Amino acid sequence: GDSVTQMEGPVTLSEEAFLTINCTYTATGYPSLFWYVQYPGEGLQLLLKATKADDKGSNKGFEATYRKETTSFHLEKGSVQVSDSAVYFCALSPYNTNAGKSTFGDGTTLTVKP
Amino acid sequence: DGGITQSPKYLFRKEGQNVTLSCEQNLNHDAMYWYRQDPGQGLRLIYYSQIVNDFQKGDIAEGYSVSREKKESFPLTVTSAQKNPTAFYLCASSPGQGGSEKLFFGSGTQLSVL
């Protein structure tokens, strides 16, 4: 079946540091790929998505590129802020299925210190 | 503002008791979903509904029940048959059913056992 593997956390960075959170996936066909962010005590919010190979999703300074050859969708940000502290989830959704049946990674907790 | 409202934010269940978690959306979305989130883990799908008066089991439906009598509402009942109910429960919706659709999440309900 489909699976998503995320870089284990927690990740602790200083403000303005470069962020990479690795995500690799296993799926048949051409899934859509997502990054969601969860702030403490809240639900998930879509951060960015990509729906086909070589697409780059971007939002709020975060970027991720859909790499079919390496089955990866790594999240990057050039300069993190304290307000970026949250849990980040990578997810995939096969093109021919319901969006709610997405497969989620276990989440990576990011803490940014001033 | 449009969104998904979950209530209550915190809920306590006594042994042998059924409890119901509320989920209401004013986004006019057809599809709605319930997920369970345990610490350090990804989301697992409990039930989903693609249209009023219809719903399907997800990956971990045992011990749970749902109804979808109105488009806006998708309540989840955690029954006494669910022996390990302590978790964070998230309701979500999507405007369509395609795999590339993003999910909109509520802010969650934390259920604990007394």
| pLDDT score recorded for residue B75 | 98
User: A95–B100: do the CB atoms touch at under 8 Å?
Assistant: yes
Using CA atoms, how far residue A98 sits from A10, A38, B15, B83, B93, in Å, is 31, 22, 35, 29, 11
pLDDT in tens, A68-104: 999 999 999 999 999 999 999 999 998 777 778 889 9
What was the pLDDT predicted at B42?
87
Tens digit of pLDDT per residue, chain B (114 long)? 679 999 999 999 998 899 999 999 999 999 999 999 998 888 999 999 999 999 999 999 999 999 999 999 999 999 999 989 999 999 999 987 676 788 999 999 999 988
Chain A positions in Cβ-Cβ contact with residue B54 (cut-off 8 Å): none
pLDDT in tens, B40-70: 888 999 999 999 999 999 999 999 999 999 9
Residue percentage of chain A with pLDDT more than 90: 81
The answer to whether the CB atoms of A104 and B105 lie below 8 A apart is no
The answer to whether the CB atoms of A105 and B42 lie below 8 A apart is yes
- Tokens for A75? 């999240």
Average pLDDT of every residue of chain A = 93
Contact between A33 and A6 (Cβ < 8 Å):
no
